Amino acid sequence: MKRTNDSIRILFTEEQIKERVRELGEEISRFYKGRSPHLVCILRGAVIFLSDLVRNIDLPITIDFMAVSSYGGSDRSSGIVKITKDLDETIENKDVLIVEDIIDTGLTLKHLHQIFLARNPRDLKTCVLLDKKERRLTDVDLDFIGFEVPNEFIVGYGLDYGGFYRNLPFLGILNISELSGGE
């Protein structure tokens, strides 16, 4: 698989991301004013987003992590959600904010909402960096949205393809057909 000179078209620059994450932090700070939200980062893709987001939230917060898998090494979600790392802390009676990198079909988030609601949080909201509405298969509530994106394969700023590209400072559209030989 080709790793250099890949065809990546920039969708959002580092500066655009930084500005939107700052705005999201302000929105979240206003919404949770007087409260201490518990942010749950969905690993691995959302970790860079979370790192920048929390520095823009002007509130006392706590953080936990959950890892789920629904892609199984593919570039498409299987719709089957497997928890590979559960939360370390209880979310009972907490104001929980799920922090996710991208929502496409909505199946993973819907499953996560069911799991979290069964654990009795006081409140449950979702903050997502990227919303790929064109691929939605189920209704999901998104409370804080960074950007709406087209139905393309996006990498960078935490999002990967085969484990690579997470460290790109921008978000870009990866031409997967060039990686597989140009089908």
| Residue 100 included in any domain | yes
In a domain, 165, yes or no: no
Q: Which residues pair with 144 in a beta bridge?
A: 127
Q: CA-to-CA distance for 44 and 172, rounded, in angstroms?
A: 18
pLDDT of residue 177: 72
Establish if 121 belongs to a structural domain. Answer: yes
Residue 2 forms part of a structural domain: no
Q: What is the pLDDT of residue 179?
A: 62
The tens digit of pLDDT for each residue in 106-133 reads 999 999 999 999 999 999 999 999 999 9
Question: pTM value?
Answer: 0.89
Residue 104 annotated as catalytic? yes
Q: Provide the pLDDT for residue 51.
A: 98
Q: What is the pLDDT of residue 82?
A: 86
Regions of the chain where pLDDT drops below 50: 1-5, 182-183
- List the domain range (segments joined by +) for residue 54: 17-154
Residue 164 lies in a domain: no
Question: DSSP E strands: which ranges in the chain?
Answer: 8-12, 38-43, 62-69, 82-85, 95-103, 123-131, 144-148, 154-155, 171-174
In this predicted structure, what is the pLDDT of residue 73? Answer: 52
Domain contains 82? yes
* Number of domains present in the structure of the chain: 1
**159 domain residue, yes or no:** no
Which one is catalytic: 95, 104, 131, 160? 104
CATH code of the domain containing 107: 3.40.50.2020
Confirm whether 87 is domain-assigned. Answer: yes
Cis check: omega of the bond before 166, within 30 degrees of 0 = no
Tell me what pLDDT residue 7 has.
87
The predicted structure's pLDDT at residue 176: 80
pLDDT of residue 4: 42
What letter does residue 119 receive in the DSSP assignment?
A: T
